[in-house]
Amino acid sequence: MSEVKSKYLVDERGYFGKFGGAYIPEMLYPNVEELRSAYLEIIETPAFKADFEQLLKDYVGRPTPLYHAARLSETIGAKVYLKREDLCHTGAHKVNNTIGQILLAQALGKKRIIAETGAGQHGVATATVCALMGIDCIVYMGEIDMARQKPNVERMKILGAEVRAAKSGSKTLKDATNEAMRHWINNPQDTHYIIGSVVGPHPYPDMVARFQSVISEEIKWQLEEKEGKTSPDCVVACVGGGSNAAGAYYHYLDDEQVKLVAVEASGLGNDTGKSAATTALGREGVLHGSRTILMQTDDGQVVEPYSISAGLDYPGIGPFHAHLFDSGRADFVGVTDEEAMKAGVLLSRTEGIIPAVESAHAIAALHKVSFESDDIVVVNLSGRGDKDLETYIKWGKY
């Protein structure tokens, strides 16, 4: 992790612009405060950095390739590179963060790990690092998500994690997050909560973004090798909570020539009541411990979002992205279920890569942004489609 200073990153009070902070009940304060007061010191030690980099290399398989997708580029009319996070061990970028956080949990002397998961990718990535380190692991997952991402539930179990169904509320990611927070309240001393995205109270959004920043750190030198310059014209990434996007944007935040495109899930369409496009449909408020943008009723009750993609089915975005939206630094684009699925098939047919449904949203967005033919565009291909076979089969149009 190389140090980046940017007005788009967290300030010393834990805010990204006016977003962020730590809106947590006193029952969580000691846990979060312990983390806040220790995280920077720990992750900046040479020993931590060495362990982190070693594991990313030997265990995760980094650097992930930056691949020039020539046939896809033709259909888009720009030079498209794919940052192959789908080739990470466990199949998505999520593991970059869980490696970092498990090392941090060990440094803090924690004996047990809890996590929430939507698509199951973060749950699998957490179960994986817990198996690697021999630490107990409990993953909360919405009951509905358990049904639609069954293979990942079984993967977590094979890895030795206990998967607990979140049965409250909408029974999806936000409720799994609530249950994980409740677990943490009830077990404050021996447990570390590995949040899976750039959400939650400070320091989580900053910490997760730092661990994911390896993505753009690599893009810079890989692009230099291929194109003779470190900056592309555009970086595209899907945003659930926003961790893969945060990692892909991180080293380009102050390079205002680089257009940042954030892709949200519009579900069946933003006007159908079945969408998860937070910036299109939400307003400022407080969710899961941070001031951010979220989908809510006039009365401030959190709305149940919808997307075909479990990983994007979240009613908020991290404060990192709320600030990029509010300041106009990133452009937010909505992609429907149908557009994403078609893009998933397009990538499969043109490049022989079946993307995760989340990442297919980023591919679909390429049709919605206008490019010059010599533009260099990097799409962060956050995950592979293995976990989504059932979704592809159910959709059926291939």
Partner 1 sequence: MNRIDQAFKEKGNQLLNVYFTAGYPALEDTLPIAKALNDGGVDLIEIGLPFSDPVADGPTIQESSTQALANGMTISRLFEQLQDLRPQVDVPVLLMGYINPVLQYGFERFCARCQEVGVDGLILPDLPMYEYEELYKDVLEKYGLYNVFLITPQTSDERIRKIDELSKGFIYMVSSASTTGAKSGITNEQIAYFERIKSLQLANKRLIGFGISNNESFEKACEFADGAIVGSAFIKQIANDSSAAAIQSFVKNIKHPK
Ligand X SMILES: Cc1ncc(COP(=O)(O)O)c(C=O)c1O
Smallest separation (angstroms) from partner 1 to the CB of 284: 8
Residue 302 binds: one of partner 1, ligand X, none (C-beta under 5 to 8 A by kind): partner 1
Residue 174 binds: one of partner 1, ligand X, none (C-beta under 5 to 8 A by kind): partner 1
Smallest separation (angstroms) from ligand X to the CB of 267: 15
Binding residues for partner 1 (CB under 8 A) = 21-31, 168-169, 174-175, 178, 181-182, 185-189, 285-289, 296, 298-302
Q: Where are the beta strands (DSSP E) in the chain?
A: 15-16, 19-20, 66-68, 79-84, 112-117, 136-142, 162-166, 191-194, 234-238, 259-267, 283-287, 290-294, 330-336, 376-381
Beta bridge partners of 285: 292
CA-CA distance, 285 to 262, in Å (whole number)? 20
Residue 119 binds: one of partner 1, ligand X, none (C-beta under 5 to 8 A by kind): ligand X
* String marking each residue 82-121 x if it binds ligand X according to CB under 6 A: ----------x-------------------------xx-x
Whether residue 348 lies in the annotated active site: no
- What SS3 state is found at 112? strand
Smallest separation (angstroms) from partner 1 to the CB of 231: 38
DSSP-assigned letters across all residues of 252-310: GTT-TTSEEEEEEEEETBTTTTB---HHHH-EEEEETTEEEEE-B-TTSPBPPP--SSG
Closest to 290 measured CA to CA, from 189, 174, 191, 203: 203
Beta bridge partners of 260: 235, 330
Closest to 198 measured CA to CA, from 287, 40, 46, 317: 317
- Window contacting ligand X (CB under 6 A); options: 4-12, 160-168, 352-360, 370-378: 352-360
Closest to 194 measured CA to CA, from 93, 129, 101, 312: 101
Residue 278 binds: one of partner 1, ligand X, none (C-beta under 5 to 8 A by kind): none
Residue 3 binds: one of ligand X, partner 1, none (C-beta under 5 to 8 A by kind): none
Q: How is residue 95 written in tokens?
A: 């593991």
Q: Would you say 67 or 193 has its CB closer to partner 1?
A: 193
Q: Given 79, 110, 116, 266, which residue is catalytic? A: 116
Whether residue 94 lies in the annotated active site: yes
- Backbone phi, psi, residue 90, to 5°: 80, -5
Q: Interface residues for ligand X in 353-372 (CB under 6 A)?
A: 356, 358-359
Q: How is residue 182 written in tokens?
A: 């409740």
Q: How is residue 240 written in tokens?
A: 């659930």
* String marking each residue 272-311 x if it binds ligand X according to CB under 6 A: ---------------------------------------x
Whether residue 382 lies in the annotated active site: yes
Q: Interface residues for ligand X in 229-268 (CB under 6 A)?
A: 238-245
Which residues are part of the catalytic machinery? 94, 116, 382
Chain residues in the site for ligand X (CB under 6 A): 92, 118-119, 121-122, 197, 238-245, 311-312, 356, 358-359, 382-383
